[in-house]
Amino acid sequence: MTSAEIDAFYAEHLSGISRSANGQRYARCPFHDDRKASFSYNIEKDGVWTCHGNCGTGNLHDFCRRMNLPEPSWLNGRTSSHEPAAVYDYRDEDGTLLYQVLRYDPKAFRQRRPDGRGGWLWSLEGVRRVPYRLQELIKAKPQGMRMFIVEGEKDADRLVQLGEAATTNSGGAGKWREEFSRYFEGLNVSVIADNDVPGLNHAQGVAAALSNVAASVNILNLPGIDVKGGDVSDWLDSGHTVEELLKLADAVPPYIKVVQESGYYSRVEQRESGTWELPVPFQAYRLPDFPTDSLPGWARDFVKGEAFATQTPEDLAAMLFLAIMACACQKKVAVLVRYGWIEPVNVFLVIVLPPGCRKTRLLSALEEPICKFEEDMAAEMAEIIAAAETRYHILQAKAQKANAKAAGAEGAEAETLAKQAEALAYEAATTVIPVIPRLVADDVTPERLATMLKEQGGAMSLLSAEGGIFDLMSGRYGKDGTGNFDVLLKSHAGDTIRVDRVGRPSEYVTHPALTMGLAVQPDVIEGLVRKPGFRGRGLLGRFFYSLPKNLLGRRKIGASPLSDAIREVFNKKIRDLLLIPVE
């Protein structure tokens, strides 16, 4: 069985297939009405598939069975067994079987429930969900045992075999249910996190759910696990012991739950019997991570890959990507929220990170297709601009020459020459000299920004890893130091810009669209609230703000660079969007 055979097989039965890194593919799920390409499979893992819309997961045998397809001949030579490698029973308090989780090799899972006639239904719809090994969980409290919550039945069984009490939930990371909490009342709980982002987030979610129920709860990040996604079984296999695990569980402090209230402030809860609560930290907050997985496959791969390569938070790359998308699509696309309510797609974004976080480097990587597009358009327009300028100067010279002749003539000849001079002057005045196409600006005054919007058809973007634009808007070059950001306010909402200046022609820009993507230092944001008019006139309220986690001091040395294939796909997608004409 080869990767090409797997790809060709799925291509016959799926639609909307897109390619991603490491052999991953995305397509519309054939098992439900799918409009979001929620079905994925991996050609490097024997075609194992997953529907992220809750249709399940499985291998190629499962796919053929569910689609009622004959298995291809090359699949029969597969070395792995069609039978499950393990079956895990989920039983209620009385021991009655509710459902099972089946694990296959290579790694894939399915769930089924008894149909009451000796067979199985491959769906858990309407079935009561319970924690794994519920009966042992109930017995753990009177015995005073510590309860370990792990990610996966295999790990729970491993700890039980070693004499400890352990449980998990079906479905993996992110599938913990609030109704499970009641079983842990009064227990001392340790949640063991798998060594990856979903595992850490899952552990945080479980601990938060139990923090007001359990006698105590803490999160164990097992030391010495180098493999991504490593779990407690990997940790034990590497030579660690259950005695070390128990010592670690006793040493790790209780989980601290930060609950956001109003503004930036929040309160901190601590669940530990007989102890004082921790003092409430000033300006403590726990912000959610950017939902990178909601991006299209090609964008998700670029954002995650570039963030890993540069060892920067995904939030930074993802937010800047939104600014790049807005730059490419503004004035071309609008969102119909409902009938009579249309919103433009230009955005104002600010990402806040301290110095040394590689903001400039990441912005340069994301800007690359836009900069290349500007270069190509400038080269393409160079000859046209030169021809228009030449024609303008020729017409001007002819008009001046005709004007001089008319001034020296008399009678009918003078009148004829005057008309010729007027016609040439009008033709020169109405000759349009195209400007060099621009999509992005950086250090620009409000006055110049209005002109650029006029020249560029009403669309412009300000992308910068510095906060200098705020200095310009607050009146750095003004006589009285007051802000001049009418252009920003109007171009955010799409209101017509009218600029009248002494000695210059008036400028009108209808339906302007300005995008701002700024990655700045915290001091810049703190200083904005003190600038006259920034808050009162609503400018600050028009921005989306992101405060990513600072990875400085926790970066991995020698992180692998983003693959050329992913970068090429990303650049092509952005260029395709830039090529869409403005209607």
Q: 565: which 2 tokens? A: 């294939």
pLDDT at 87: 94
Q: 370: which 2 tokens? A: 């836009």
pTM of the model: 0.50
Q: What is the DSSP string of 480-519?
A: S-----HHHHHHHHTPPEEE--TTS--EEESS-EEEEEEE
Q: 220: which 2 tokens? A: 């164990």
The 3-state DSSP class for residue 15 equals strand
- Type of residue found at 319: M
The 3-state DSSP class for residue 342 equals strand
Compute the distance between CA of residue 126 and CA of residue 549 in angstroms, rounded to an integer.
Answer: 40
Close Cβ partners of 305 (under 8 Å, ≥ 6 residues apart)? 21, 562, 563, 566
pLDDT at 261: 42
Q: Where in the chain is the domain with CATH 3.90.580.10?
A: 3-77
Considering only 51-65, 185-199, 319-333, 567-581, which range has the smallest mean pLDDT? 51-65
Close Cβ partners of 97 (under 8 Å, ≥ 6 residues apart)? 89, 90, 91, 114
- Sign of the Cα torsion 548, 554, 555, 556 reads negative
Write phi, then psi, for 273 (nearest 5 degrees).
Answer: -65, 135
Q: How confident is the model at residue 94 (pLDDT cuts 50, 70, 90)?
A: very high
- Asked if 2 and 43 touch (Cβ cutoff 8 Å), the reply is no
Is the pLDDT assigned to residue 265 strictly greater than 50? no
Residue with the bigger pLDDT between 554 and 290: it is 290
Residue with the bigger pLDDT between 150 and 261: it is 150
Considering only 131-145, 201-215, 515-529, 560-574, which range has the smallest mean pLDDT? 515-529
pLDDT at 560: 85
Mean pLDDT of all residues in 323-339: 89
- Asked if 327 and 440 touch (Cβ cutoff 8 Å), the reply is yes
- Sign of the Cα torsion 403, 406, 407, 408 reads positive
pLDDT at 478: 47
- Type of residue found at 16: G
Mean pLDDT of all residues in 186-215: 89
Is the pLDDT assigned to residue 245 strictly greater than 90? yes
Compute the distance between CA of residue 46 and CA of residue 75 in angstroms, rounded to an integer.
Answer: 10
Of the chain, the percentage scoring pLDDT greater than 90 comes to: 26
Reported CATH class of domain 129-270: alpha beta
Q: Where in the chain is the domain with CATH 3.40.1360.10?
A: 129-270
Beta bridge partners of residue 82, listed in sequence order: none
Mean pLDDT of all residues in 516-525: 84
pLDDT at 435: 82
Is the pLDDT assigned to residue 530 strictly greater than 80? no
Is the pLDDT assigned to residue 264 strictly greater than 50? no
Mean of all residue pLDDT scores within the chain: 83
Close Cβ partners of 30 (under 8 Å, ≥ 6 residues apart)? 13, 14, 39, 67
Supply the DSSP symbol for 272.
B
pLDDT at 263: 38
Compute the distance between CA of residue 94 and CA of residue 40 in angstroms, rounded to an integer.
Answer: 38
Is the pLDDT assigned to residue 21 strictly greater than 80? no
Supply the DSSP symbol for 177.
-
Reported CATH class of domain 3-77: alpha beta
Q: 């160079």: which residue's tokens?
A: 382
Compute the distance between CA of residue 166 and CA of residue 155 in angstroms, rounded to an integer.
Answer: 8
Compute the distance between CA of residue 136 and CA of residue 146 in angstroms, rounded to an integer.
Answer: 12
